[in-house]
Chains A and B, each alone.
Chain A
Amino acid sequence: MNTAFRTLFVSAAAVGLLAIGSTAQAQDKTIKIGALFPMSGPGSYFGAQDKQGVELALEQLNKTGVNGYKFAVQYEDSSCGPLPATQAAKRLIEQFKPDVIIGEECSDATLAVMPIVEQAKVPLLNAGSSSIKVTEPGNPWTFRIMPNEVMQGINLAENAAKRMKAQTAVLLFENTNAGIGNAQVFKENFTKLGGKVLAEIGFGRDVNDFTSIATRVAGLGKVDVIPTYTLEGQGLKITQALAQAGVTKGGGGNAIQIGTIWLPFGFEQKAGKAALGYIRIVQFDPTDSRDVAKNFAQAFKAKYNADPTHLNAHAYDQIMLIADVVKRGGKDAQSIRDGLAATKSYSGVTGSVEFDKTNQNIKMDTIHYMETKPDMSWTSLKWN
């Protein structure tokens, strides 16, 4: 091998090594986010809409990066259930090795995943599970942006009793941690305020026809409010059955359905006139005048040619909050966890974020009320 060839060979090898080094460095400068979303089963509408919010946030963030970091998301189908969520979380942690995980939507699934992320020491940022058990008594690795069932339930019961002057209620809820928990918090606080709960009717996710339940409600006498806690599909059928039975305003009755954060926007249009007068808490107010909310709504409309739902919004917030933590120095699982815990008055699309010692967001401006009008549009009630 002559000298010239040897020089050329060594130079080429050096360039190659440099290239490998810079690729490795570029790969290291990526924040890996695992997403546990329901992509199949009755809760799959959550996953479809969450993904839209995540993709919009990634598109915006990865144009320039944050502190030199890009963001990559790996989606896993957690199916709104404890078993598939557990398997999906293990797959994510073992194969993708994320710096942070977002999801799940359903409380039962989130509760099942929490011990796994704690053992792996990967922070879990939740935006859609309301069960109090997610943050009580506290888990150092799980954070929740969404107001929990107690925050929502107390607020809903107070508004039902004081603003709506309701004296009687019938509780309709799915038999899950979130369904039962939400209903119990409402009951406890509504009765403290002098209200009377006439019946508590729980049902499984496999119930198809709600005519029998509506018949039972119709036989209970004067009902003022019907707090309802279900996924969108069953929610539609309950609303229609209650109207058919002549119980709610939509069917010529007097009762008003109320609820916490369960249903997406567009529910009213699907339910039709049966949804008239439905008052419920949503996690995102499209009439919010803050720049962050207006810019999000515009960007979403530009990308998807549709108005955003609260699911789009809270998924977007999850990624943007992680980006904010990275901006403040977060670079791996431990520092992202610490950064999340130190979050003070972060202003997101759904509202402000500040975690208490249980890692629950304590800001109440994430609770927005909306009411369905006779033309099936809705109005923001500005009750908070």
Chain B
Amino acid sequence: MTTTIVLQQAINGVVLGSLYVLVALGLTLIYGVLVQINFAHADFVTLGAFAAYFFMHLVGGGYILSIGVAFAVGAALGWLINASIFTPLRRKGNELLPLIATIGVSVMMQNLMLAWFGPIPYAFETQYSSEVLRFAGIFVSWQSIIIIAVSSLTIALLYAFMKFTFLGKALRAVSQDRETAGLMGINPNQLIMLTFVIASALAGMGGAMLAPVLVLTPFAGTSVIVKAFAIVIIGGFGNVEGTILAGLIVGLIESYTTQYLDPGLIDIVVFALLLLMLAIKPTGLISERREENV
């Protein structure tokens, strides 16, 4: 029984960690390229969740396709907000302005969603939510299997994009030195836009993955964003590999703290780890020089 529980909680932790990674990756990408924290990231997650929900319930689409819809909605919104708000503010040369604007965008999006979708929690059920695979005392819902599969695929594709494509290499060049990259013929503004679009698309997709797990309300994203920030700091701000590792560690900490200590202590354990990391290894789990991030 004990081994079964240990294994079951490991699976629970990996599923939860995979969800956190999807949300945290967007945050870390934006920080890596722009050295900017996006406080509106949680609301892109929420909007992605609602996009998937309404695609399924109004259009009648399937869940897997709804993940793609949430990805596209996130990407489109990321482009729109970066083009209309963040880019003009960035041109003013004051780095504080776009940072503050992300807070404004967050509050605005939350309240718009509250006005449109109302405060009553939505039940986001998919055909995979209640179907459970049981073997040797272990249970895993098909929803959890989809979460792990989609997260793994996304991480692999993102890694391949960064390492092997021209645009990915250009993004890394901009993150290392924006001015020098510009001198080499790379347009930093286009790549910043690309970063925003990718990060927002990931957030939207994360929303579609989280929605059947989370309580879907206009504030759904905010409930995971604090953990996502902690994961980004533990993993090393701007470090993709570190973020993935930290996400999985936090997921496992949550499930084992629930089993052997108390769920009420989860935040204490996670944020104690964060403080510990800041004190002894402020560069994050996987040390890289700042300019090699992303």
Q: Chain A interface (Cβ within 8 Å of chain B)?
A: 39-42, 44-45, 47-49, 175, 201-204, 206-209, 211-213, 215-216, 219, 232-234, 236-237, 240, 243-246, 251, 269-274
Given A237-B213, A244-B132, A244-B141, residue A215 in contact with residue B259 (CB < 8 A): yes
Q: Are A209 and B264 within 8 A (Cβ)?
A: no
Q: How far is B16's CA from A207's CA once the two chains are assembled, in angstroms?
A: 11
Q: Are B263 and A244 within 8 A (Cβ)?
A: no
Q: How far is B219's CA from A203's CA once the two chains are assembled, in angstroms?
A: 18
Q: Chain B interface (Cβ within 8 Å of chain A)?
A: 1, 5, 8-9, 12-13, 15-16, 19, 114, 118-121, 123, 125, 129-130, 132, 134, 139, 141, 144, 210, 213-215, 217, 219, 223-224, 226, 254-255, 258-259, 262-264, 266-267
Q: Are A207 and B215 within 8 A (Cβ)?
A: no
Q: Are B121 and A233 within 8 A (Cβ)?
A: yes
6 A-B pairs besides A45-B120, A208-B213, A246-B134 with CB distance below 8 A are A39-B119, A40-B114, A48-B118, A209-B15, A209-B213, A244-B141
Contact pick for A236, options B121, B223, B266, CB 8 Å: B121
Q: How far is B266's CA from A251's CA once the two chains are assembled, in angstroms?
A: 27
Q: Are B259 and A273 within 8 A (Cβ)?
A: no
Q: Which 6 A-B pairs have the closest CB atoms?
A: A44-B119, A233-B215, A270-B123, A212-B258, A203-B263, A212-B255
Contacts of A175 in B (CB 8 A): 264
Q: Are A237 and B263 within 8 A (Cβ)?
A: no
Contact pick for A41, options B9, B139, B219, B258, CB 8 Å: B219
Contacts of B264 in A (CB 8 A): 175, 202-204
Contact pick for B215, options A237, A251, A274, CB 8 Å: A237
Q: How far is B217's CA from A209's CA once the two chains are assembled, in angstroms?
A: 15
Q: Are B219 and A272 within 8 A (Cβ)?
A: no
Q: Are A45 and B213 within 8 A (Cβ)?
A: no
Q: Are B129 and A201 within 8 A (Cβ)?
A: no
Q: Are B262 and A202 within 8 A (Cβ)?
A: yes
Contacts of A48 in B (CB 8 A): 118-120
Q: Are A207 and B123 within 8 A (Cβ)?
A: no
Q: Are A213 and B219 within 8 A (Cβ)?
A: no
Q: Are B121 and A209 within 8 A (Cβ)?
A: no
Given A40-B114, A40-B119, A209-B213, residue A216 in contact with residue B134 (CB < 8 A): no
Contacts of A271 in B (CB 8 A): 123
Contacts of A274 in B (CB 8 A): 130
Q: How far is B258's CA from A274's CA once the two chains are assembled, in angstroms?
A: 22
Q: Are A204 and B266 within 8 A (Cβ)?
A: yes
Q: Are B125 and A212 within 8 A (Cβ)?
A: no
Q: Are B215 and A219 within 8 A (Cβ)?
A: no
Contact pick for A42, options B114, B125, B215, CB 8 Å: B215
Given A270-B121, A270-B123, residue A240 in contact with residue B8 (CB < 8 A): no
- 10 A-B pairs whose Cβ atoms sit less than 8 Å apart in the complex: A47-B119, A202-B264, A206-B223, A206-B267, A211-B144, A212-B263, A215-B255, A244-B132, A246-B132, A270-B121
Identity of the chain A residue whose Cβ is nearest the Cβ of B255 in the assembled complex: A212
Q: How close is A187's CB to chain B, nearest CB, in angstroms?
A: 16
Q: Are A209 and B12 within 8 A (Cβ)?
A: yes
Q: Are B119 and A236 within 8 A (Cβ)?
A: no
Contacts of B114 in A (CB 8 A): 40, 44
Q: How far is B141's CA from A237's CA once the two chains are assembled, in angstroms?
A: 13
Contacts of A206 in B (CB 8 A): 223, 226, 267
Contacts of A202 in B (CB 8 A): 262-264
Q: How far is B219's CA from A271's CA once the two chains are assembled, in angstroms?
A: 20
Identity of the chain B residue whose Cβ is nearest the Cβ of A251 in the assembled complex: B132
Q: How far is B241's CA from A207's CA once the two chains are assembled, in angstroms?
A: 25
Contacts of B19 in A (CB 8 A): 209
Identity of the chain A residue whose Cβ is nearest the Cβ of B131 in the assembled complex: A244
Q: Are A44 and B5 within 8 A (Cβ)?
A: no
Contacts of B5 in A (CB 8 A): 215-216, 219
Q: How close is A222's CB to chain B, nearest CB, in angstroms?
A: 13
Given A203-B263, A212-B13, A233-B121, residue A240 in contact with residue B215 (CB < 8 A): no
Contact pick for B125, options A39, A41, A204, A272, CB 8 Å: A272
Contacts of B16 in A (CB 8 A): 208-209, 211-212
Q: How close is A179's CB to chain B, nearest CB, in angstroms?
A: 10
Given A42-B217, A246-B134, A273-B130, residue A213 in contact with residue B141 (CB < 8 A): no
Q: How far is B134's CA from A8's CA once the two chains are assembled, in angstroms?
A: 93
Q: Are A204 and B267 within 8 A (Cβ)?
A: yes
Q: How far is B267's CA from A270's CA once the two chains are assembled, in angstroms?
A: 29
Q: How close is A253's CB to chain B, nearest CB, in angstroms?
A: 11
Q: How far is B255's CA from A245's CA once the two chains are assembled, in angstroms?
A: 14
Contacts of B258 in A (CB 8 A): 201, 212-213, 215-216
Contacts of B12 in A (CB 8 A): 209, 211-212, 215
Contacts of A237 in B (CB 8 A): 213-215
Contacts of B267 in A (CB 8 A): 204, 206
Identity of the chain B residue whose Cβ is nearest the Cβ of A173 in the assembled complex: B264
Name the residue in B119, B266, B267 with the highest tally of chain A Cβ atoms < 10 Å from its Cβ.
Answer: B119
Given A208-B214, A216-B258, A236-B121, residue A42 in contact with residue B263 (CB < 8 A): no
Contacts of A44 in B (CB 8 A): 114, 119-120, 217
Identity of the chain A residue whose Cβ is nearest the Cβ of B123 in the assembled complex: A270
Q: Are B139 and A246 within 8 A (Cβ)?
A: yes
Q: How far is B119's CA from A270's CA once the two chains are assembled, in angstroms?
A: 15
